[in-house]
A and B are shown apart, each in its own frame.
Chain A
Amino acid sequence: MKLRMDRTLRFWVDVAYDDIRSEHPNRTKRQLIARILREFEGCGDAMRCLNANGTITWKASPQCLERLADAERDAEDELKDCF
């Protein structure tokens, strides 16, 4: 079954996958993504929910989205300071 996830989470899962794939050449992409999701869920950055079709999907948690928004604001502030 395909691991469905929202766009934000997909982006960060792909980043994590690119980081670890070379360390685990014998694992399939699906196994590594499952492991990443398990870790993200355990630290509160990812969560499961039902989508509009009643299927279980993954999404970035409110905590994760808040942290990303903070980081984006900080980056914008730093950029303003540069000019």
Chain B
Amino acid sequence: MINYADMPSYFWLVSSRLKKPVQDDVPYTTQALRQDLLRVRTAWDDCQSNRDRDAIYTYLTAVFGLVAWWVADNCAVERARKALRLSALRPFDHEEPFAVIIRGTSDPAKVDKRTRSKWSRVLRYALQYKDHSEPLDQFIKRKGGINRCGERFSDRSGRHRRMNTCF
């Protein structure tokens, strides 16, 4: 029997609900990737200058929107690697695309490793379970908020259970 909990972190990317590659014939250029990253960074700046407690959803929606179509195009892992190179960042072992984009577009002084990991789990959870027509913020709130969605993803991937065993 396959133990999904031990699969590499990028496993979910190739086993998502989007089984069929839906590519069109417009190549995704380096310049286009730069523009996409710039847009996500702008979303980060906007959410930082906004005091509304829901402002973070603007940023998470931008990250989610970018990686979601990369996943649909079956190129998320390689594009995330390229994004790292463009941002002059060192790759981390087993870092998946959402975490890469968050690391490359947010302020590391404000988003530590733990927060990055939590947001990345929330977005992976949304990628697996959110209906495409539902806005990300509505989905997360409906599922109990950012922290709860992060926990839900951990529960489903088996990490939470293994951690409990360790302690």
Residues of A within 8 A of B (CB): 1, 3, 34, 37-38, 41-44, 47-56, 61-63
Contacts and interface: CB of A to CB of B under 8 A. Distances in A.
A44 B25 CA distance: 18
Interface size class of B (residues with CB under 8 A): 20 to 34
B50 to A, nearest CB: 15
Nearest to A35: B26
Interface string B66-97: 00110011000000000000000000000000
Contacts of A48: 28, 69
Nearest to A52: B133
Contacts of A49: 65, 68-69
Contacts of A43: 31, 35
Given A3-B24, A41-B26, A41-B32, A54 B39 contact: no
B161 to A, nearest CB: 30
A47 B62 CA distance: 12
Identify whether the interface residues of B are mostly helix, strand, loop, or mixed.
loop
B163 interface: no
Nearest to A44: B35
Contacts of B49: none
A50 B69 contact: yes
Nearest to B132: A54
Given A50-B68, A50-B72, A56 B35 contact: no
Contacts of B18: 54
Nearest to B131: A52
A61 B32 CA distance: 12
Nearest to B18: A54
A55 B22 CA distance: 7
A42 B28 CA distance: 9
A21 B23 CA distance: 25
B29 interface: yes
A41 B72 CA distance: 18
B69 A44 contact: no
Contacts of B133: 52
B111 interface: no
Given A51-B132, A56-B73, A62 B39 contact: yes
Contacts of B8: none
